[in-house]
Amino acid sequence: MAHPPTRPNGLAYKDAGVDYSKIDPLKIDAQRAARETAGNLAHTGFTEITASRGESAYVVDVGDFMLASITECLGTKVLIADKMRAITGKTYFDALAQDTLAMAINDIITVGATPISVQAYWAAGSSEWFDDKQRAHDLVRGWKEACDKCGVTWGGGETPSLGGVVEAGTIDLAASCIGIVRPKERSTLNNKTKPGDAIILLASSGIHANGVSLARKLEAQLPDGYSAMLSDDRMYGDALLDPTVLYSPVTEALYKGGIMPHYIANITGHGWRKIMRHEAELTYRFRMIPPVPPVLQFIQQHAGMSNADAYGTFNMGAGFALFVAPEDARRTVEISDDLGVNAYHVGTVEAGPKQVIIEPIGVTFTADDMHLRA
């Protein structure tokens, strides 16, 4: 395939086929209708945690503990794997399985939950998808290994063949997860975050599974496509497929160590703008930034993205944010580092308008830069 020469081209996320301005209004309508169903819980004697609406997982108080639930999908990362297989011979579906579970598990733990079980949703474009035994086996194996890493049971799932809905030759991967918040004091949904809290960023492994459409669009513009070499001598496509870090071992270790984060944000779509997800009016100031993975440096450079675009789209090396009491900051970093997940105490919560100030790169995101809530 011929590629046009690489050039700074100001590739914006909207150009890559994901237009958040079109998705978010429906999301907000749906959230509004969903809120109106809250009363349906009355006959169970359980109580909805209203503050969980608009957060990453839905939470219900069931008496002895709280129950959290979520459904998340992988997105278009499978399309990269399909192309890379022709280059390296690997299926990458073990990595994609971990990515898919990470989308659900890294979200459900933000409310203070311990994930307990997951359901798989694997919707293929045709029955033939399942004929490829190596790929199917890698998917099953990767899914199981990610469950084992996070201490969750794999409860079951759905493996439909959806010709005409899912594209031929590909698969739509998603996961749902249930978790428990026990003791209930672990809940991050009660405005514990306050000025002075330390912000600990946990290292990402690369792009994770957000911003992938843009990474794919860039590939089409590179002379060597996914075979382009990064600064660390890895292939662009191979590095894109590094699986998302599973952060639940870290949060579980924190609880065991007696540390309860005040708030937690999973840095996914909208990049660092997700750091101001909490509903309170607070300022999040970063004096330093974690190292940027070579694959994200590469994308920013070759797509000609400003720092504001890059940090507003990608995780830029920070896959997860923990907001903890200042006296817990050092141990939080140690516990995470000990588990092999590099942690950086680089930010502080301050009184002030809702904004994320990233001092080293001179970027500020304000509340106007993200509207996720109805």
Please report, as residue ranges, which positions from 208 to 237 form the binding site for its own copies (by CB under 8 A). Answer: 213, 216
166 sits near its own copies (criterion: CB under 8 A): yes
144 binds its own copies (CB under 8 A): yes
150 Cβ partners below 8 Å, 6+ apart? 101, 105, 115, 246, 248, 249
Neighbours of 367 (CB within 10 A): 13
C-alpha triplet 101, 269, 323: angle, nearest 5°? 80
User: The tokens of 76 are what?
Assistant: 């278009």
Rule CB under 8 A: say whether 167 interacts with its own copies.
yes
Q: Which residues touch 165 (CB under 8 Å, ≥6 apart)?
A: 123
Q: Taking CB under 8 A as the rule, does residue 198 contact its own copies?
A: no
Q: Is the Cβ of residue 41 or residue 229 nearer to its own copies in the bound state?
A: 41
Q: How many chain residues touch its own copies (CB under 8 A)?
A: 87
Cβ atoms of 282 and 354 closer than 8 Å: yes
Per-residue b or e along 186-209, where b marks 16 or more CB atoms closer than 10 Å to that residue's CB? bbbbeebbeeebbbbbbbbbbbbb
User: Which of 87, 165, 229, 280 touches its own copies by CB under 8 A?
Assistant: 165
In the complex with its own copies, the residue whose CB is nearer, 144 or 287, is 144
Stretch that binds its own copies, among 42-50, 221-229, 235-243, 295-303 (CB under 8 A): 42-50
Q: How far apart are CA 19 and CA 44, in angstroms?
A: 39
Residue matched to tokens 């199981």: 144
Among 58, 227, 304, 369, binds its own copies (CB under 8 A): 58
Judged by CB under 8 A, the stretch of 125-133, 305-313, 317-325, 346-354 that binds its own copies is 125-133
Among 111, 123, 203, 264, binds its own copies (CB under 8 A): 123
Q: How far is the CB of 91 from its own copies (least distance, A)?
A: 14
What is the distance of C-alpha 348 from the center of its chain?
A: 22
Cis previous bond, 223, omega within 30: no
Among 91, 100, 106, 114, binds its own copies (CB under 8 A): 114
Q: Please identify, among the stretches 172-180, 219-227, 301-309, 333-341, the one whose residues bind its own copies according to the rule CB under 8 A.
A: 172-180
- Least Cβ distance, residue 36 to its own copies (angstroms): 6
CB nearer to its own copies: pick between 185 and 281: 185
